[in-house]
Amino acid sequence: MYVVMRIPSTPNCGDVRLSRDHTNAKHYKDSAFSLVLCLPPTIPASITLTMSSPAQESQEALWQPIARRKQAERASRIPSKWHIPSHVLPRDPPRPEDGPQNVLDTPRQFLSSSEISITESYTLPTLLTAISSRKLSAEEVTQAFCHRAAIAQQLTNCLTEPLFESALTRAKYLDTYLHKHNKPFGPLHGLPISVKDTFNIKGVDSSIGIASLCHKPATQNSPLIDLLLSLGCIIIAKTNIPQTLASLDSVNNVFGRTMNPINRLCTAGGSSGGEGVLVAMKGSMIGIGTDIGGSIRVPAMCNGVYGFKPSNGRVPYGGQALISLDGLSRTSITAVAGPIARSVEDIDVFLREVVPLAHLFGEDCIPTPWSRIPSQKKSLRIGILRSDNNCTLLPPITNILDEVSSKLRSTSNVTVIDLPCPPAWTKCQSVMSKLMGVDGGVTMANLLEATSEPLVPWMSTRFRKGKPQPLTRVAEIQAQRAALEREMLKLWYSDDDEGRRTQTLDAIVCPVAPHPVPPIEGYNAVGMTSSWVLLDYPAGTVPVRDCTEKDLKLGTPLGGKALGSWDERNRELWDESKLDRRVYLGTPLSVQVVVPRLQDERLVEAMGWVDKACRGTGGDLKARL
């Protein structure tokens, strides 16, 4: 007989068998047997013990024992000295009566004053200076961030692969190198970073939360990993993602759900949800995510941090876990890799080192320099773009756009222009959806079918195995895309009487989504983020302030008619007969900043202008950053 444990908050997880020899164990005895029961700190305190025999075990789907083993391996990589007491763990599954269960500051209870200072007091450039000047060692910095990441994992379930041991080994090597050569290994010497689970690291799984990919470690690094290591970075962990990577709520059968540290009732976002959470929890200085529909910008919005989706070709993307036919992205939509951080400055300093070298590592990159953020003395023309006419803005989003617009108008050297919605922007979401589905989901479906792994509830009504589209159909959709690209150019440029063209708009400020950070599995329409991927425009998330009761207009219905099926779902997030709007209290309100293709440096500049203009309005949000 075996003793097993059920984890209620992990969808479809079934039973999780426990180790007999874990150092943090409890003994249970029965008249028929005696064994050791391990309770990893990431497991909720409320558990149900059940019994299963070998005969019963044989009836399990193949994915279930794989998931158990993977979770046990992850738990074993958190040192017992970093386990936190069960009484501080939030309640799962979250219930409205439990409130938001904010855990952003909880790690401070278990960190030394030095660890708190290291993880909270430095910006990226000041931390690099402290390490290179030997004020801090790479080892003590890495130790502090690993410790904080371990606590974040226990509170939010944000990690897939804790890499603490290898991170500390590399930190010691970098300290030795600095002592021996009297110079840093690279410009990002000792920088503790985390990466989305999709990136390959030699000897480590890229399971992306799918059982059939577990225990198949990568044989080589992704090009971006090699680039980051060459610059002196230290990778402390890989982070959680949603099943199929096609939703904006990070949950899968292998690792479970990543929880929002600000409000456990709301989504942490996806698909780079683990990165957004870990950066918000200050368990990593920079998180590397990927973005095809909003997967960097949405987690940044949900967790109140900064996200940057670059243009295609600026940051290496290739060499990741394959979820579709290899090479197919070159015929449909190409995702990009980019940073999630705690400031615009940190993003700038990071990309300043990564982008100029990207073409030496990534076959998908172009040779380009990276200019520093200008001094902000020149003028800037910013357009305010509101609804895409697919979804109605809910009042908190209207409020935050109005406030940002007002702040920018009062900023010297900034001209603000209210833009009408271009018809092309309205059409982008439909074309994007077509291109996203050209592979028919065959590769992903086969990966799930290999171990009889079910779809998680949200995906069960949205993912179906289909047939890859023929080349002629793909060409038709790409032609539609090209037409939209040409139409959108008119937003940025104007022609004089002689046909000479000039860029007349520097940046756009628009919503990240038509709604605030939604409840778990409440995210639906992604047109305001996916459209910019279709057009290959750089786009970033800037947090502004927290949602207040004034934003909620309690008792006042939205009014008007739904613009379509996407808007119907959007309006449900404001319908007080279906949802208590107070769930949004304290969650971050952010805006999205967009610039034309390949003008990534201008995006950082524009994000800086917006951030500076709004910095005084951030309240609690700015304080926690």
Question: What positions carry a catalytic annotation?
Answer: 196, 271, 295
Task: Give the type of residue at 532.
Answer: W
Q: Count of alpha carbons within 13 Å of 580, Cβ hemisphere only?
A: 10
- Distance from C-alpha of 289 to C-alpha of 271, rounded to nearest angstrom: 8
User: How is residue 382 written in tokens?
Assistant: 């910013």
Q: Is 528 helix (H, G, I), strand (E, B) or coil?
A: helix
Q: Are 404 and 613 in contact (CB under 8 A)?
A: yes
Q: Does residue 619 come out as left (phi exceeding 0), alpha (psi in the -120 to 50 range) or beta?
A: left
Nearest residue to 193 via CA among 283, 305, 298 = 283
- Tell how strand 380-385 and strand 414-419 pair up: parallel
What is the DSSP-derived secondary structure letter of residue 455?
P
- Distance from C-alpha of 164 to C-alpha of 149, rounded to nearest angstrom: 9
Nearest residue to 535 via CA among 611, 437, 422 = 422
Q: How far is CA 522 from CA 518, 525, 570, 578, in A?
A: 5, 10, 9, 12
- Distance from C-alpha of 302 to C-alpha of 541, rounded to nearest angstrom: 10
How far is C-alpha 25 from the geometric centre of its chain's CA atoms? 34
Nearest residue to 288 via CA among 188, 435, 428 = 188
What is the DSSP-derived secondary structure letter of residue 496?
-
How far is C-alpha 174 from the geometric centre of its chain's CA atoms? 28
Q: Are 297 and 275 in contact (CB under 8 A)?
A: no
Q: Is 155 helix (H, G, I), strand (E, B) or coil?
A: helix
Nearest residue to 162 via CA among 263, 40, 47, 264 = 40
How far is C-alpha 266 from the geometric centre of its chain's CA atoms? 15
- Distance from C-alpha of 17 to C-alpha of 69, rounded to nearest angstrom: 8
Nearest residue to 416 via CA among 404, 427, 425, 400 = 404
Task: Give the type of residue at 599.
Answer: Q
H-run or E-run covering 384: strand 380-385
What is the DSSP-derived secondary structure letter of residue 104?
T
Residue identified by tokens 């700015």 is 622
Q: Are 321 and 201 in contact (CB under 8 A)?
A: no
